[in-house]
């Protein structure tokens, strides 16, 4: 198996894990929170909120900006 396939399989695994966790969280009585409340919890402090939003801002700069 080429290293490219391994790399792509890794990214696919994380994408599938995100979808799988989101579906598990939707089940009634699930202890796993949905992605949105988990992010809200992460952003309940100032450093968490600024960190997440600045991380998002950096993504935009990284992919598009000079």
Partner 1 sequence: MAHPGQDVAREATRADRRALSRPAARAVVAALRDPVVWVFLLAGIFEVLTGDPIAHGTLLFVVAAALAADAVARRLRGRMAATPATEPAETEPVPDLAIDLMPSPAMVTIGIALYAIAGSSFTRYTWPMTLVVGVPAIAAVAWSWRARQGESSSLPLDRLGTWLWIGLFVGLALWELRELLLQPSLTTGSDANPTISRLLDPILSVQSGRLVGLLVWLGLGRFLIGAASA
Interface with partner 1 by CB under 8 A: which residues? Answer: 2-4, 7-8, 10-11, 14, 17-18, 21, 25, 30-33, 35-54, 56-66
Least CB distance from residue 40 to partner 1, whole Å?
Answer: 4
Report the distance separating Cα 22 and Cα 34, nearest Å.
6
Least CB distance from residue 59 to partner 1, whole Å?
Answer: 6
Least CB distance from residue 6 to partner 1, whole Å?
Answer: 9
CB 21 within 8 A of CB 32: yes
Report the distance separating Cα 11 and Cα 1, nearest Å.
16
């Amino acid at each position: 198996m080429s290293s490219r396939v391994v790399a792509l399989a890794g990214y696919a695994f994380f994408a599938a894990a995100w979808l799988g966790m989101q579906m598990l969280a939707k089940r009634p009585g699930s202890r796993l929170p949905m992605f949105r409340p988990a992010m809200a919890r992460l952003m309940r402090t100032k450093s968490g909120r600024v960190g997440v939003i600045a991380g998002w801002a950096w993504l935009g700069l990284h992919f598009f900006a000079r």
